[in-house]
Amino acid sequence: MEPKKPCCAAGRAAVSLTPQEASEHALHPSSGHPEVSESPVSTETAGTKIHLNWAELAGGTFRMGSDDPDGFPADGEGPSREVSVRPFRISSYAVTNAQFRQFVEATGYVTEAERFGWSYVFHLLVSESTKAAVKQAPHETPWWYAVQGADWAHPEGPDSDIEARLNHPVIHVSWNDAVAFCDFTGTRLPTEAEWEFAARGGLAGRRYPWGDELKPGGEHRCNIWQGRFPVKNSAQDGYIGTAPVDTYEPNGYGLYNMSGNVWEWCADYWSPGYHHETSADNPFYSRQTDRRSMRGGSYLCHRSYCNRYRLAARSSNTPDTSTGNAGFRVAADRLNP
Ligand SMILES: [Ca+2]
């Protein structure tokens, strides 16, 4: 089994910690189915319409988690077990830059990255001029630069913008920011169980949303890393950074990019004991911890380093941390279950 290695950025607090402290925080350290129908719905709040595409899922019982030897037992990926989720809806795509901009324009919301004044950007995406203003990166994850002025509208810092990426997933949003978007749109974050049920797309016990083979027929099905992490990304899947939210084939429930592209915040508090400590009926980890769960992996994942684009893989970060590889999608209870 691959040794457990850090992959996500450390929690926001790690930047001001000593290397030893940062190491302690370093996360993975801190920082077709007949029941499916698609229903485009516009959420109107205070005169602002945000168009969301939904997959209506009937819920049911499925095998959640994995005992895969390639997995990370310390992350609490297993033991796998039968879990039931109630009927719910989940957005077909991650929330986009365009949607998040609508939310900000309607509310004046200021993200935590903007309030703190910086966010984590992967080193290969940072311009030379921006690197001059970089804070010390967390000890365990030196490829993350704490870039002054990086935020959802300036993903690589002040000299960048989102104009050519309006249909890419919004990034540099903390868990708290994601919940603010949900509150405005009358939605909520999916629970981990809902997320995994949705991501499996009706296929039982598979490694990826489309099956067990990473590249069936040699075809790339998700946006992850190719090459030698963290220095050389050959981008054979077409993308070094984020990809548009509708890239690649959707899964059996019509959901796009459940593996790779960006990590997606979930509603649960984080615990490696998740599968031992939550019920099998609509599980939700409600006992307060200092982190929130994320699922799905990102464009930085590679088998050799952070093999967490598998369906059962888990990650977390502190709820105020934002990075250039984490976003979210929204869920809601079904109107007519
Ligand atoms: Ca890629």
Nearest to 264 by CA among 242, 231, 286: 242
Ligand 1 centre from 262 Cα, in Å? 11
Contact 66, 76 (CB under 8 A): no
Q: Domain ranges in the chain?
A: 19-333
Superfamily of domain 19-333: paralog of FGE (formylglycine-generating enzyme) (3.90.1580.10)
Contact 316, 77 (CB under 8 A): no
What are the φ/ψ torsions at residue 81 (nearest 5 degrees)?
A: -160, 165
Half-sphere exposure for 11 (CA within 13 Å, toward CB): 20
Cα–Cα distance, 329 to 306 (Å, whole number): 22
Ligand 1 centre from 251 Cα, in Å? 19
Cα–Cα distance, 246 to 78 (Å, whole number): 30
Ligand 1 centre from 238 Cα, in Å? 6
pLDDT tens digit string along 247-301? 999 999 999 999 999 999 999 999 999 999 999 999 999 999 999 999 999 999 9
32: pLDDT strictly greater than 50: no
pTM for the full model? 0.91
Query: Which of these ranges, 57-61, 113-117, 134-138, 292-296, has the smallest mean pLDDT?
Result: 134-138
Q: For position 19, what pLDDT does the model report?
A: 31
Cα–Cα distance, 276 to 279 (Å, whole number): 8
Ligand 1 centre from 239 Cα, in Å? 4
Mean pLDDT of the chain, nearest integer: 89
Cα–Cα distance, 302 to 46 (Å, whole number): 42
Ligand 1 centre from 214 Cα, in Å? 13
- List for the chain the helix, strand, coil content (%; round to 5): 20, 25, 55
pLDDT tens digit string along 177-213? 999 999 999 999 999 999 999 999 999 999 999 999 9
**Average pLDDT for 66-78:** 92
Ligand 1 centre from 84 Cα, in Å? 33
Do you know the residue count of the chain?
337
